Chain A
Amino acid sequence: MANARQFCTFYLNHLLFGVESQKIQEVVTYRELRPVPLAPPAVSGLMNLRGQVVVALELRRQLELPDRLADLKPVCLVVRAAGGAVCLLADEVGNVVDVEDETFEPSPETLSPRLRSVILGVHKLEHELMHVLDTDRACEV
């Protein structure tokens, strides 16, 4: 099990994504965000995370997926990124899974270069594919 890694999974537009679990600071329920005029489109707003102001990024926008329906409340994955904590908005959280390097395959060339820098590749799980997210890249706008 030398190459085992642990991932936190979540769903975006019915796709399964995973982030290395040590990158995740916490997962919190959606709370009201303060919109920021003039901000890049991926910035959904600012969140009060126990007294800290944390920027919330819409992962669907970052990953060029269609916008979430208005009546779906997202969940907030707070990740430790290079410049401090960042909140990534996802549809719903999944599980914690252990995977081994053998099941990993890099992203196919058919993916756009920008997406390939964010989605490192997939782990072939038993029933579905888990997209592996580079959190630092996902936190860049």
Chain B
Amino acid sequence: MNDSDDIVREFLVESYENLDRLDRDLLQLEKNPNNREILASVFRTIHTIKGTSGFLAFNQLGAVTHVGESLLGLLRDGQKALDRDITNALLAMVDTVRQILASIEATGSEGERNDDGLISRLTRLQGLPEAAPPAEPPTEPKAAAAAAAAGAGEMSGGESSYAAAGTSKAGNAKSESFEVGSFMITNEPAITACPAPPAVMAEKLAAVPADEAADAQPALQAAAGPSAADRTIRLDVSLLDRLMNLVGELVLARNQILQFANRTEDSGLLLPSQRLNLITSELQEGVMKTRMQPIGNIWNKFPRTVRDLALGCGKQVRVEMEGQETELDKTLIEAIKDPLTHLVRNAVDHGVERPEVRQAAGKNPEGRLALRAFHEGGQVNIEISDDGAGLDQERIRNKAIQKGLISAEQAGRLTDREIVNLVFLPGFSTAEKLTNVSGRGVGMDVVKTYIEKIGGTVELQSRPGKGVMVRMKIPLTLAIIPALIVTSAGERYAVPQVSLLELVRVEPAAERNGIEMIHGAPVYRLRGRLLPLVYLNRELQVGSEPSTAVEGDAGDVQAVNIVVLEADGRQFGLVVDFINDTEEIVVKPLSKHLKSISVYAGATIMGDGKVALILDVLGLARGSRILTEGREHGRAGAAEATAEAAARQQKLVLFSGPGASRMAVPLELLARLENIPGAQVERSGNQWVTQYRGQILPLIRVGHALEERRHLPALDDVQLPTTAMLQVLVLEHERQSFGLVVHEILDIVESALEPRSPATRACVLHSSVIADRVTELLDVPALLAAGERYEPVLATDPNRAERRADT
């Protein structure tokens, strides 16, 4: 590592920043070509890069920026008006500069380049009435002056530190920098030494036509701009991290002192300790703030991205931003940069329609891409919405089925919202063909993975014809998060509040009605829905089983505390011994020894100095198999109906069929298991129905549908049930709910469905051995097809059963 490397790195960091600003400025300028302030800012930026590149002997960079600067000089002096051609050329120049910088970053040199095309394009655009070359020299000395002055601390804080590095660090800096200086001087005999900063100011002012008094104002403002930059310094993030850690320690020490001080009567200790308390809190807040950055920092480059993309695909897109000042932790800003860019590209490429299509649909031909950020509930919400055509649900559905991400069965049961969120499944892309814009394999699943990695969530809403909105919820900071502290087996655990939905306390008296068992798997009826329960003690294999309370056989039944959590769209209840409080905790990473334990996300130090573990809700859900069927299943990527797919492990609901036979149906096909009182069953036409959640639920008696037809009693003979409870499997098929009335629900088991023997009757896929009993797997679609037209079908189509049995 030597000093010149340091200088180059400084130069790169700063130039990248400047280029981002340049993109933004140029686009603003395009809208508002007469804004001198922006022009001056653009000019300055190019100036700086040119100057420094000369200083560091990057000739190609110098040559490109030089012509660009000359063109900008003409614009600034009002000799040329900005038009689209010039903007394009200037943007192309910015890109070239970026490429050169990237090459310098990667290899340390500019590489073999030929930018003559760009240079001549920029020169041509200068097309002055008189010959171009004579016009150049006058602008030249100013440029060089400013460039040289750049080293003297004119432009920004970074600049001055760079200059300091240049002169103080290198032992032979004096002669070296002079040499570099003289490299520029060879072109500019007028200048022999670096002018002092005041001289530069004068120079800058002189550069503005002095006869226009009005111009002095913006020029002064422009001159005032950099001085604001002087007040900022560039810091290594690791230094801030260290500060953050130290403050964390200070907070703990403060807590201990406070605990001790509160026990004494000594005001000599009490007062300073209270002051210490206040100062520490403020210090903590201040250090936290140093790591916060406005999200505008990454949004700034989107207008340029969008402009280029839109031009590339013949669309018109306007970018609107709201809440640029919303602040997030720096590490998070970095982490969401790529996903955000992807979403923005997606919106332009796939979301917004072409102008003619928009006009035909009665919309403004210019599409709108809105970026919105705001704080809510200790999180940052970021919304990216477009007013395009929205997602084509049918296409998504078909695509997902075709790719084997879900089965046709599942697809039928999905709500519209669930359908559009299928795009987050791995291996899904709606683009029919690869374009050079997006859809290059990095799909929405990557976006989701990225966001989840930093503890955020992402969801998508689509309204046909109105557009798509993607909403992300990101924690404010990774370092400090709000968390719920719970106790299990005497130890405290922190549950990140991001995943927390609600807290439920089941009193012993109400317990019997609340927590029930599905073959040993505890569930809780939360507002009529079954919430699977996970016992933290059991998952961590610690302490006593709190389940004694659930079974309620002992006298010492106690209240059950359920923390309702959501992981990857699935809800489950975490049963803990006590719920303590919510607290802001400082997240500490776990050592590599414990990384492999998926239920922990990290550790934290509590106010009393003790260590608590942070639970990883996703890991917990996976560990307890809450998350096995849904998403993981989708990843396995096979359609349900096929026999090969059925050979996988599945959760099956076992029930007794006609006679003493046992039957099974995959749990995932079912929406709910219900007990419906016989008294609530009504007749509608030739069907049994019941009122269920405000709908009419057709009931299909599995026993009857499977019965040999000749024994089938006519409907009139069948007595409506009056008193008994009917056990009903509720499922959705092709957006219609059905209830399958079964004899008795026996069990829910997990089993591989290997066909042992072919089906012997209608509506059965095959038979296999489950839990040591021969069990028939119900063919739900066939049953529904038969059941929908219940009696008539069976009466008029006697071959149906045979046909199915044959296949």
Contacts and interface: CB of A to CB of B under 8 A. Distances in A.
Contacts of A53: 588-591, 603-605, 611
A38 B610 contact: no
B605 A37 contact: no
Contacts of B592: 83
Interface stretch (A41-49, A69-77, A100-108, A124-132): A41-49
B591 A51 contact: no
B183 to A, nearest CB: 47
A43 B596 CA distance: 13
Interface residues on B, range: 20 to 34
A40 B596 CA distance: 10
Interface string B600-628: 10011100011111000000000000000
B245 interface: yes
A23 to B, nearest CB: 17
B593 A51 contact: no
Given A35-B491, A46-B603, A51-B245, A40 B593 contact: yes
A14 to B, nearest CB: 27
A43 B594 contact: yes
A32 interface: yes
Contact of B593 (A32, A37, A43, A52): A43
**Among A35, A36, A53, A57, residue most surrounded by chain B Cβ atoms (within 10 Å):** A53
Interface residues of A, number: 25
Contacts of A84: 591
B597 A46 contact: no
Contacts of A38: 540-541, 597, 599
Contact of B491 (A34, A43, A50, A83): A34
Contact of A86 (B591, B597, B603): B591
B610 A48 contact: yes
Nearest to B536: A37
B594 A32 contact: no
A47 B594 CA distance: 13
A123 to B, nearest CB: 29
A130 B589 CA distance: 35
Interface in B571-594: 588-594
A46 B248 contact: no
B249 interface: yes
A55 interface: yes
A54 interface: yes
A18 to B, nearest CB: 23
Interface string B270-302: 000000000000000000000000000000000
A52 B612 contact: no
B74 interface: no
A121 B592 CA distance: 27
Interface string B18-55: 00000000000000000000000000000000000000
Interface in B544-596: 588-594
B249 A50 contact: yes
Nearest to A57: B593
A141 interface: yes
B56 interface: no
A45 B591 CA distance: 11
Nearest to B606: A48
Contacts of B604: 53
B446 interface: no
B594 A51 contact: no
B593 A39 contact: yes
B353 to A, nearest CB: 52
Contacts of A50: 249
Given A35-B491, A38-B540, A54 B597 contact: no
Nearest to A87: B591
B588 A52 contact: yes
Contacts of A52: 245, 588
Contacts of B590: 53, 55
Contacts of A33: 611
Nearest to B489: A37
A51 B284 CA distance: 14
Nearest to B598: A38
Contacts of A57: 593
Contacts, number: 66
B611 A51 contact: no
B252 interface: yes
B243 interface: no
**Among A36, A37, A40, A46, residue most surrounded by chain B Cβ atoms (within 10 Å):** A37
A48 B599 contact: no
Contacts of B671: none
B245 A36 contact: no
B438 to A, nearest CB: 38
A45 B612 CA distance: 11
A55 B591 contact: yes
B588 A32 contact: no
B588 A141 contact: no
Contacts of B613: 34, 36, 46
Nearest to B609: A48
Nearest to A47: B611
B206 interface: no
Contacts of B249: 50-51
B542 interface: yes
A53 B601 CA distance: 13
B597 A39 contact: yes
A48 B592 CA distance: 17
Contact of B252 (A32, A51, A141): A51
B605 to A, nearest CB: 5
B206 to A, nearest CB: 56
A22 B246 CA distance: 24
Nearest to B612: A34
B475 to A, nearest CB: 20
Interface string A87-108: 0000000000000000000000
Nearest to A84: B591
Contacts of B491: 34-35
A56 to B, nearest CB: 10
Nearest to B602: A53
Given A34-B613, A38-B599, A51 B541 contact: no
A33 B597 CA distance: 18
Contacts of A39: 593-594, 597
Contacts of A83: 591-592
Interface in A1-47: 32-40, 43, 45-47
Nearest to B543: A37
A36 B610 contact: no
Contact of B597 (A35, A36, A47, A48): A36
Given A35-B491, A84-B591, A51 B248 contact: yes
Nearest to B492: A34
Interface in B238-270: 245-246, 248-249, 252
A47 B245 CA distance: 16
Nearest to B245: A51
Interface of A: 32-40, 43, 45-48, 50-55, 57, 83-84, 86, 141
14 contacts: A32-B610, A35-B491, A36-B600, A39-B597, A40-B593, A48-B610, A53-B588, A53-B590, A53-B604, A53-B605, A54-B591, A55-B593, A55-B594, A86-B593
Interface of B: 245-246, 248-249, 252, 489, 491, 540-542, 588-594, 597, 599-600, 603-605, 609-613
Closest 8 CB pairs of A and B: A51-B249, A37-B540, A34-B611, A55-B591, A53-B588, A53-B603, A83-B592, A46-B611
Given A33-B611, A39-B593, A45-B611, 18 more contacts: A34-B491, A34-B610, A37-B489, A38-B541, A38-B599, A39-B597, A46-B603, A46-B613, A48-B610, A51-B245, A51-B246, A53-B589, A53-B591, A53-B603, A57-B593, A84-B591, A86-B593, A141-B593
